[in-house]
Amino acid sequence: MPEFSTVSMLSLTNKRIILGITGGIAAYKCAELTRLFAKAGAEVRVAMTKAATEFITPLTMQALSGNRVSLDLLDTEAEAAMGHIELARWADLVLVAPATADFIARIAHGQADDILSTLVIATSAPIAVAPAMNQAMWADSGTQANLSELAERGFKIFGPGEGEQACGDVGLGRMLEPEQLIDHCAGLFEVGQLAGKRFVITGGPTREAIDPVRFISNHSSGKMAYALAQEAAAAGAQVTLVSGPVNLSTPDSVTRIDVTSAEEMLTAVMENINEADVFIGVAAVADYRPKQQVKEKIKKDSEDLNLELIKNPDIISEVSKLDSKPFVVGFAAETNSIVENGRVKLEKKNLDLLFANSATETFNSDSISVTAISSDQEFEIPTANKNVVAREMLKLVSESVKS
Ligand code: C5P
């Protein structure tokens, strides 16, 4: 039996979870909970109350989440790394598990006297609590009134479960098991159209060194590739972006590998293509590179300078040749006969889909129009912002890679 449903795996991909731990015996289950979140592709940042640290160590939670644990509202070092307001904004979900009767009471009354209660009132993300307490404390009318208050304010209440308790009592008050909590959290998110798919995308120009200070390159800004990477990740894909030198910041949840030359780009692509479902070659790879690797700066002593160039590897064609070939998408920036030239490239490079566009309109622009070309189809995606066009492109890709 799987640890949790496949849907959980998919809808939690790339989701940012604050796991708030309060001081109950069930806190030890947070180690497993964090592992399961990571397995589902979510990123976890942990915030703990002081009492929680008596039950499970911050070091354990740091090691499992891969992120620094937030313990103290007044920790200047932690605030400098990611302040509590930034952290509250970062989250897609806050899950407080286990949530003690005391913590529930405090947040029901809007208190903000430690890092976790402050995050709860500072975030606009959904908040879920997983109560964990003795059955008598659970049945207490004050606890129930506090929970009703939270439910009315839109908090999700996950559990509690029934059964044997740490104190020997039997009844309601056990924290739900980590697998159940994962399923409940997953239920709060939609499954993205590309959930679970692995993408490798190339973007930007390459630079081919002439000597230590000069290079051959082109005007590619990388904007189209970055828009595709951003939108694919937002739709749930795991994205590796192999990027030439550009002036853009890495989109959220995207793994970026920086390269300079075409040969470096090829190596990085081949190292990451193994499990990919989709490869999109957006990079404007320099077609040729200088034949000689000159170690010293070339002097301008003579009137003529002849550079001998040799052809670079065609990265997308190399990917198309692989035995376990992913769905391969190419681009063709043309100055004339855009669609005809695009179709020739689709066939020559053995691509599944190609987006052809005007070379003169595209470079460094925020908008683009393209013609989508496959073996049996051809249609226009009209001029729009590159993110809007990227979403349209990804709809076509997702239709083709649906499992
Ligand atoms: O042949 P052309 O450069 O017009 O082909 C463009 C397509 O091929 C793009 O998808 C581009 O990323 C890819 N390409 C490549 N390696 C090259 C040249 C182009 O992957 N050396």
Which mutation among 314, 339, 341, 350 tests ligand 1's pocket best, with the greatest number of atoms within 8 A of CB? 314
Q: Write down the pLDDT at residue 4.
A: 56
Does 167 participate in catalysis according to the annotation? yes
In-domain check, residue 192: no
* Residues near ligand 1 (Cβ within 6 A): 202, 262, 281-283, 285, 312, 314-316, 330-332, 345
Query: What is the residue with the minimal CA distance to atom 4 of ligand 1?
Result: 332
Would you say residue 360 lies in a domain? yes
Flag whether 155 is in a domain. Answer: yes
Residues 272, 337 within the same domain: yes
Compute, in angstroms, the gap from residue 259 CA to the centroid of ligand 1: 16
Q: Residue 179 is part of a domain; what is its CATH number?
A: 3.40.50.1950
- The atom of ligand 1 lying closest to the CA of 316 is 20
Domain membership of residue 13 (yes or no) is yes
Q: Which amino acid is at 253?
A: S
**208 and 154 within one domain:** no
Ligand 1, atom 10, lies closest to the CA of 330
**pTM over 0.75, yes/no:** yes
Please tell me the predicted confidence (pLDDT) of residue 113. Answer: 93
**Ligand 1 atom nearest residue 329's Cα:** 10
Q: Which of 152, 186, 220 is the last residue of a domain?
A: 186
104 and 208 co-located in one domain: no
397 and 248 part of one domain: yes
Ligand 1 pocket mutation, candidates 243, 288, 316, criterion most atoms within 8 A of CB = 316
Is residue 19 domain-shared with residue 151, that is, in the same domain? yes
What DSSP line would sit under 21-56, residue for residue? Answer: E-SSGGGGGHHHHHHHHHHTT-EEEEEE-TGGGGTS
The verdict on 222 and 156 lying in the same domain is: no
Q: Reduced to 3 DSSP states, what percent helix, strand and coil does the chain have, rounded to the nearest 5?
A: 35, 25, 40
The β-bridge relationship of strands 327-334 and 238-243 is unpaired
Q: Within this chain, do residues 276 and 176 fall inside the same structural domain, yes or no?
A: no
Measured between alpha carbons, how far is residue 87 from residues 36, 69, 125, 307, 311 in Å?
21, 11, 11, 53, 48
Domain boundary among 157, 186, 215: 186
The pLDDT score that the predictor gives to residue 2 is 45
Whole-number pLDDT of residue 1? 39
pLDDT for the residue numbered 127: 98
Which of 124, 159, 186 corresponds to the end of one domain?
Answer: 186
Per-residue pLDDT in tens (0 to 9) along the chain, 403 residues = 345 555 556 789 899 999 999 999 999 999 999 999 999 999 999 999 999 999 999 999 999 999 999 999 887 877 777 889 999 999 999 999 999 999 999 999 999 999 999 999 999 999 999 999 999 999 999 999 999 999 999 999 999 999 888 888 888 999 999 999 999 999 999 888 998 899 999 999 999 999 999 999 999 999 999 999 999 999 999 999 999 999 999 998 899 999 999 999 999 999 999 999 999 999 999 999 999 988 999 998 989 999 999 999 999 999 999 999 999 999 999 888 999 999 999 999 999 999 999 887 766 788 999 999 999 989 999 999 999 999 999 999 999 888 6
Indicate if 238 and 258 belong to the same structural domain: yes
Q: Are residues 218 and 329 in the same domain?
A: yes
Which structural domain, as residue segments, surrounds residue 118?
A: 6-186
Of 85, 121, 167, 170, the active-site residue reads: 167
d(CA 283, CA 207): 11
* Separation CA 203–CA 222 (nearest Å): 5
- Does any domain span residue 236? yes
* 326 CA from centroid of ligand 1 (Å): 16
What pLDDT score does 9 carry?
A: 65
| Other beta carbons less than 10 A from residue 57's beta carbon | 14
Whose tokens are 């390269």? That residue is 259
pLDDT of residue 365: 81
Residue of 280, 276, 270, 220 lying closest to 244 (CA atoms)? 220
Question: What's the start-to-end Cα distance of the chain, in Å?
Answer: 21
Q: Beta strands 214-216 and 161-164: pairing type?
A: unpaired
Q: Does 179 share its domain with 237?
A: no
Compute the residue count for the chain: 403
In a domain, 299, yes or no: no
Q: What 8-state DSSP symbol labels residue 190?
A: P
Do 207 and 182 fall into the same domain? no
Closest atom of ligand 1 to 312 CA is 21
pLDDT reported for residue 8: 57
Total domains in the chain come to: 2
Six-digit token string for 45: 């940042």
Residue 356: give its domain's CATH number. Answer: 3.40.50.10300
Q: How high is the pLDDT of residue 76?
A: 80
330 CA closest ligand 1 atom index: 10
Candidates 199, 224, 234; CA nearest to 384 is 224
Residue 289 and residue 388 in one domain? yes
Neighbouring CB atoms inside 10 A of 402's CB total 9
**So what's the pLDDT on residue 121?**
96
* pLDDT score for 116: 97
Does any domain span residue 1?
Answer: no
